[in-house]
Amino acid sequence: MSKARAIAAINGQLTDRIPQWDSPDNPSLAKMLFNYDIWKNPEKTAVDCWKHFDIDLTHYIPGDIAEWNFPLVRYYGEAVYTDDPRCAPYKRAYKQPLKKPYQSMYDQLERTSNASFWGLAPTLSQNYNFTSPEEVLSFDPLSHDPYTLEERMSFFQEYYREKQALLGDSCLMIGWYYHTLFMWPVEIFGWEHFMVASMLDPARFSEILDQFFKITWRDVSAMCKVESLPLIACHDDLCSANGPMFAPSWYENHIFPYYKKLFAMIHDAGKKVIFVCDGNVVPLLDQILATGVDGIVVDGQSDLAIVAEKFSGKIIVGGMKPAIVSHGTLMEIESMVQKTVSIIRGEPGYFFKCPGMNGETTAENVFHYQECLRRFGSR
């Protein structure tokens, strides 16, 4: 069973093959695989895709009426869609909910979003409300967050119960928190106002970060009460393709001390925690390791050999290039998988992950990628 394989790998046990944490989120592929209307129930379609490809671990299932970044929530049905005819299925599948699951910070800010096609759920881009760094520095996050710990506990208990029930023993659903700390100002303020405000008045901006962290602490504490979650993924895109967005010293002063407290709390709850970061995270690996994290998820911008050396014996995920799966040749896909396996074959906690199986990817590339994982990932 894939769920059992994922749990074994999380606990450092070698499995029959290298496990997989991937999202074959491709409507055209789903139409080929299943003899039913995939847009009638996109969530069922996604689950069937996960089961078909024997995916071992996932952090979300596309098809929810609301997106998976829990602190904010973006409602697919309320987005403004383009006139592109490829958006038509999304308009049919994701209608505005009659009753929202809860009032999010997006609702508090009257945030709007635009939608375009991508996978089984639309891709949303945000329209930011903030117009100046001074407006950012005057923001009070806690006054825009209406939830209690009890409400969040109830939400996470029901959410993860429903998702794991859909997957059964075929795949493990893990905890996922998108806005650990750095992503809060990115998502709320936008990059430019966030970065200028943080440099303009570091003391005031630190107070804002502290408020955001209080929300994160409450939510992750609530998530830790879900018994079925052995692992919680904390996401923050600290880096671009060129490396850290800020000087490493800024992270040492404003980000990593919070991580240490949060990860210690997760460990005290009997869970493991893995850190997720896009971009070239190699310059920050030592600092991230020092936070006490149990593993790391990286994309193809980070040198997997260096990541594997630093995090040997821990959970390691990814390190492959999505563009190769999406647009590469079959030979390029095969070469990438072989190279990856040569680096991490002896690491029991490694998971294949390459988020390139979206609506732009040919079925041929998806099938070949999956075949390569089975052929070269066998132990």
Mean pLDDT of 44-48: 96
Distance CA 57, CA 332 (A): 25
Burial of residue 165 (CB within 10 Å: 0-12, 13-18, 19+) is exposed
Percent above pLDDT 70 for the chain: 99
Q: Which residue ranges make up each domain of the chain?
A: 2-73+103-111+130-377
In 3-state terms the chain splits into helix, strand, coil percentages (rounded to 5) of 50, 15, 40
pLDDT of residue 37: 97
Q: pLDDT band at 122, cuts 50/70/90?
A: confident
What distance in Å separates the CA atoms of residue 176 and residue 274, rounded to the nearest whole number?
Answer: 10
Give the pLDDT of residue 107. Answer: 87
CA torsion sign for 331, 321, 293, 158 is negative
> Looking at residue 279, what is its pLDDT?
97
**Fold category of 2-73+103-111+130-377 in CATH:** TIM Barrel (3.20.20)
Q: Is the pLDDT of residue 310 over 80?
A: yes
Regarding predicted confidence, which is higher, 301 or 99? 301
Mean pLDDT along residues 136-159: 94
Residue 178: predicted pLDDT: 95
Query: What are 5-45's pLDDT values in tens digits?
Result: 999 999 999 999 999 999 998 999 999 999 999 999 999 99
pLDDT score at 118: 78
pLDDT score for 301: 96
Please write the tens of the pLDDT for every residue from 67-121. Answer: 777 888 888 888 888 888 888 899 889 888 877 766 789 888 988 888 887 789 8
Nearest Cα neighbor of 94 from 70, 126, 62, 71 is: 62
β-strand partners of 58: 173
Given this model, what pLDDT does residue 316 score? 98
The string of pLDDT tens digits covering residues 193-243 is 999 999 999 999 999 999 999 999 999 999 999 999 999 999 999 999 999
Q: What local confidence, expressed as pLDDT, does residue 357 receive?
A: 86
Residue the block writes with tokens 């299925």: 89
Buried b (16+ CB within 10 A) or exposed e, 68-107: bbbbbbbbbbbbebeeeeebebbeebbeeeeeeeeebbbb
What average pLDDT does the structure give for the chain? 94
